[in-house]
Amino acid sequence: MTPFVRLSAAGFAATAITYGPARMGFGLFLPQLKSAFAISTHVAGVVSSLGFLGFFAGLLASQVMTNRIGPRLPVAAGLAAATAGIAVAAAAPNWQTLCVGVVLAMSSAGFSWTPFNNAVHRSVEDGWRPGALSSVSSGTGFGIAVAGIAALVMSMSGLSWRQCWVAFALGSVLALLLNWRSLRDVAGTPGPDPVQRWSVLLQPSAAPIFALALCYGITSAIYISFAADGVAQAGGLPDLQAGASGGLIFLCYGLFGLSGLYSGRLKAAIGLPWLLRLLMLASALSFGLLALVPTVWPGVVLSAGLQGVNVMMMSAVLAFWSDRLFPTLPSQSFTAVLLAVAAGCVLGPVAAGFVSSTVGMTPMFLGTAGLATAAAAAVRTRFISEQPAAGDGITG
């Protein structure tokens, strides 16, 4: 098996779990969790933001581990955290214990993605790297689709959300075993990503990627935290069992998100600036549909699909864009970008939860659509560069 195939498959499995049910499970099952634990929308926003704070901490820990001992152990640690966190949440007797499980599970996403930039950079030829990194990031779409199917099956068969989460934990164990085996060739050594001060990443040409990452973090976290609950509060979709709307949303989100596999080709066809504009506009339209037609089948399906395309493609874009900007710091640069994403993820849900509790879901969704539209309008071709940044970590 070639390094391209081995690392693509391992990364796909890792992100499928950590960015799928481990990261999205709370938002996907929020209507059921609110009922089971008497959680308000404001408290749900706080729990979600705490989970993304765990994601932020996981990113920092993963970077330290990757720099010192290579990418294998942080990936394994992330999948172990996903397994433990999902299991704790599945057995939680109260919302406080649920919160602990959610934070632990969501921290796994911080551990388990960025090390693959290091592993791919070390083992895969330059021309194949965008494809490998796109495969890794697109595992998210598969994981979310499977989680959505599980939620639909739960609603239609009478299964408990706890049983679904036990199944997710078992899947996490399998992904852990696969990655432990697949990453054995890059275990024990840090590889080509030298330890540098974070300040070397603060170059003017890198400002757009960090700004867009922050905005992307805010909008994507709000969607995955509140889309299912927003549709449920509006009355759900006609002819669909109560509580099943979330499963449908995340199934469409994940399936459309598999388009992330084509991010590299689309960027080559239309250029990075236009791809960024279109993705942010897709996000804006997604929120607009959720605000205006939350009980109309085509509107909700299109909303979920557009958001899935935006999230998966933007994830892949951020991965290979950071690799191009800082080729000597493949893992550290991507970690910095994801820290900006994580900061947005921490800020977004808690703010959205407060706004929703104060003025309602519809104004909150429309405001988020406005933010994504503003980000699209702010993209300027002359500021978007894929050339290595000056001072990208090369020391002379």
In this prediction, residue 394 carries a pLDDT of 42
On average, the pLDDT of the chain sits at 88
Question: Would you say residue 394 lies in a domain?
Answer: no
- Closest to 313 in 3D by CA, of 364, 345, 265, 357: 265
Question: Would you say residue 193 lies in a domain?
Answer: no
The whole-model pTM stands at 0.84
Q: Which is more confidently placed, 286 or 68?
A: 286
How far apart CA 282 and CA 290 sit, in angstroms, is 12
> Is the model's pLDDT at 189 over the cut of 70?
no
Question: Would you say residue 388 lies in a domain?
Answer: no
Question: Would you say residue 308 lies in a domain?
Answer: yes
* Overall domain count for the chain: 1
In this prediction, residue 194 carries a pLDDT of 56
Please state the separation of Cα 29 from the chain's center in Å. 17
Alpha helices in 158-194 (DSSP H): 161-182
How far apart CA 105 and CA 145 sit, in angstroms, is 18
Say if CB 373 and CB 366 are below 8 A apart: no
How far apart CA 291 and CA 284 sit, in angstroms, is 11
Residues 6+ positions from 51 with CB-CB distance below 8 Å: 23, 26, 102, 103, 105, 106, 107
Question: Would you say residue 395 lies in a domain?
Answer: no
> Is the model's pLDDT at 119 over the cut of 90?
no
Question: Would you say residue 391 lies in a domain?
Answer: no
Q: Which domain holds residue 17?
A: 3-182+202-383
How far apart CA 66 and CA 63 sit, in angstroms, is 5
pLDDT tens-place string over residues 269-284 = 999 999 999 999 999 9
- Mean pLDDT along residues 40-67: 92
Question: Would you say residue 194 lies in a domain?
Answer: no
pLDDT tens-place string over residues 74-101 = 999 999 999 999 999 999 999 999 999 9
> Is the model's pLDDT at 205 over the cut of 70?
yes
**Residues 291-309: b if buried by 16+ CB within 10 A, e if exposed:** beebeeeebbbbbbbbbbb
Question: Would you say residue 252 lies in a domain?
Answer: yes
Binned at pLDDT 50, 70 and 90, residue 391 comes out as low
Question: Which H or E element spans position 249?
Answer: helix 245-257
State the DSSP code for 185.
G
333: CATH: 1.20.1250.20
Percentage, residues of the chain above pLDDT 70? 95
Considering 59-63, 122-126, 333-337, 355-359, the range whose residues carry the highest mean pLDDT is 355-359
In this prediction, residue 393 carries a pLDDT of 45
Per the structure block, which two tokens stand in for 149? Answer: 């199917």
